[in-house]
Chain A
Amino acid sequence: MTDQAGAVYDLGYTPYEGERRGRAGARRTIFWDGVRRVLGIRRKARKKVLPWLLVGIASIPAVVFVGIAFFVPGQIADATPGPLAHAQFFGLGGTMVLLFTALSAPELLIPDRTDGVLSMLSSRPLTSGDYIATRFASLVAIILGFLLVPQLLLFIGQASTHRNGLFAGIVDSADVLPKIVVVAGIYTLAYVPLGFVVAGLAKRKAIASSIFLAGIFGLIALAELIVRNSTFAGGRWFALLSPVNTADASNFWVFGESNPDSLLQFANINPSIGLLALVVVGVLAVSFSVIRYRRLL
């Protein structure tokens, strides 16, 4: 016999008594989930292929530039502002951003609806407005990142060709940095709202991507057709129909360059008016999505 007392503990369930970060914690979790989901992080390998392929393709020109700058310094040393000036580089990467938005927006919104994850979120400290705002923020962050990474590579590449070294190059070109961020924001504002609204309505990702791309190219064609051939007063304002044209015009405007091909310039519309239109469309898009999701979450 022993006088030691034994005890049996059921470790099957332990109540949680730790920290709860409430609504802010929930929003943070959904934000980072959105970023990971679009990039295929912690998903099957096939989910990673397309986003990283697009990131790679978008970065190739900048990487090539940086490579040449490092390995064959004499080739580019005196080429400032260089064949790939930032404004032109934004224009060059436009198609990639368009494709990346077409890929990202449906990935952020559609699986949660089709897989029923929204019903799980209805027992979490969130409102439908929180969910939509957070998903929108994820999309904005992803597209901004997609635009900024190649630009920053290019910036560093150009700075590294400075005759007094990288640091001197950065200091000399520092005024370009805020312009890069502003233009990246403008392109984001041009593409994200439409992609977001379409993804909030479509039932399948492929359909959403197709509708978004068709919508963007359709608006470009419509705006070009009306503005360049219109005979009626006020026809020039149809230039604002196309967010891509507005973003392209604003891009060159911010960098202080002129773009003779710009539809806004042809229509004699100041890009600042175009920017205002983009902001209004962005607000309307988020508001529409919040209303749409009220009955879902």
Chain B
Amino acid sequence: MPSTAFTTSGIGHAYGKIAALHSLDLDVPSGRIGLVGANGAGKSTLIKILLGILTPTTGTATVLGMDTRRDLVEMRSVIGYMPEGNCLPLDQTAADFLVYAAGTAGLPPRAARQRASEVLTLVGLDEERFRYIGDFSTGMKQRAKLAQAIVHDPKLVFLDEPTSGLDPSGRDEMLDLISRLGRFGIDVVVSSHVLRDIERTCDWVVMLDEGTLLDSLPIGGAAADDVVRVEVNEGSERIAASLRAAGADVEVDGDVLRVRHESIDVFDVIRDAAASSGTSLRRLGAGGATLEELFLQKGAAR
């Protein structure tokens, strides 16, 4: 498998006189890649160029080492795509549509039926396979969209706003499914304006703002490795005092604490401090700055 998911070289695109992307140079490694930016940042345009739907006004792009124009058919045979909008025929059952989706990827009929069945089970639609898609809830439609994107076992799958319209539990399940794709050996490009979703599922992030590249970097590298970020519901000073008593270096910023500690079991230290101070934690994770903070910093510096 190539170690590069996709590259762009001087990619630009304009819709008439409105420029959507400005000369983007990217070299993004395989893995789980987040594509973040506000609405209109150029995320969907970049994905459409990488899928070969749009021809860039300037520059070239490759996906898994294949040129998106010259090697279009070969490239499309190893990718999947879950669009933000609808891509499901409402008058077909989920099973029939998945068989069709697998067939259009070139799978023979018997294999297509088997893959459809397996993938519907994977996304939790096995009980609903013979229901018409028009009768599905929003969450079920999102799962069916993900299923069609992976039914042919692509090497790389583009997910455009995969949690759009989902309730909190549906969102959790979708993010969990996306995280699992990486373990199945499928590279993922997730486009989202919800930075926490990207933070939770991806190991690399590409930040776009108004069609320009803010940064492209590993999410682990987006923050200091030796810092743990703690968010509490209340009582930040109480837990800070407990942590300091345990030998930690603590910075407090409202409900957010940044904790440094020599111990390799720093998370255990924080747990014990929370228990001893009676503080409830809202969030606990590596990194001194969230992706959101980093994105705002980069945007402000532009």
Listed A/B pairs (22) with beta-carbon separation below 8 Å: A13-B180, A18-B111, A19-B111, A20-B105, A21-B106, A21-B107, A22-B73, A23-B77, A26-B103, A26-B104, A29-B112, A30-B104, A33-B100, A33-B103, A42-B93, A43-B91, A122-B51, A124-B105, A124-B152, A125-B73, A126-B76, A127-B72
A9 within 8 Å of B (CB atoms):
no
Q: Which residue of A lies closest to B133 (CB)?
A: A115
A123 with B85: CB separation less than 8 A:
no
Chain A residues positioned under 8 Å from B112 (CB to CB): 29
| Known contacts A12-B180, A21-B106, A117-B89: A44-B53 contact under CB 8 Å | no
Q: Can you name the residue of chain B whose Cβ is closest to the Cβ of A115?
A: B89
CB distance from A297 to the nearest CB of B (A): 7
CA distance A42 to B122 in the complex (A): 24
Bound CA–CA A21/B86 (angstroms): 27
Complex interface residues of chain B between 59 and 96 (CB less than 8 A to chain A): 72-74, 76-77, 79-81, 83, 85-93, 96
Is A121 an interface residue, CB under 8 A from the partner?
yes
Interface size on B, residues (CB 8 A): 47
The 5 closest A-B pairs by CB, nearest first: A29-B103, A123-B81, A25-B106, A16-B153, A125-B77
A residues apposed to B, CB below 8 Å? 12-16, 18-26, 28-30, 33, 42-44, 47, 111-112, 115-117, 119-127, 295-297
Which A residue's beta carbon lies closest to that of B119?
A13
Q: In the complex, which residues of chain A have a beta carbon less than 8 angstroms from the beta carbon of B54?
A: 295
The complex places the Cα of A162 from the Cα of B61 at a distance, in Å, of 69
Contacts of B121 in A (CB 8 A): 12
Residue of A nearest to B75 (CB): A125
Instruction: Using CB atoms and an 8 Å cutoff, list the residues of chain B in contact with chain A.
Output: 51-54, 72-74, 76-77, 79-81, 83, 85-93, 96, 100-101, 103-108, 111-112, 115, 118, 121-122, 132, 148-149, 152-154, 158, 180, 184-185
Chain B contacts for A44, CB-based, 8 A: 91, 132
A77 to B153 Cα, complex, angstroms? 62
- A28 to B107 CA separation, bound complex (whole angstroms): 11
Q: A123 near B79 (CB under 8 angstroms)?
A: yes
Decide: A111 near B87, CB < 8 A? Known: A16-B115, A29-B104. Answer: no
Task: Among B81, B103, B158, B185, point to the contact of A15 (Cβ < 8 A).
Answer: B185
Say yes or no: B184 contacts A115, CB within 8 Å: no
CB distance from A290 to the nearest CB of B (A): 15
Asked if residues B74 and A15 are in contact (CB atoms below 8 Å), the reply is no
A20 to B185 Cα, complex, angstroms: 19
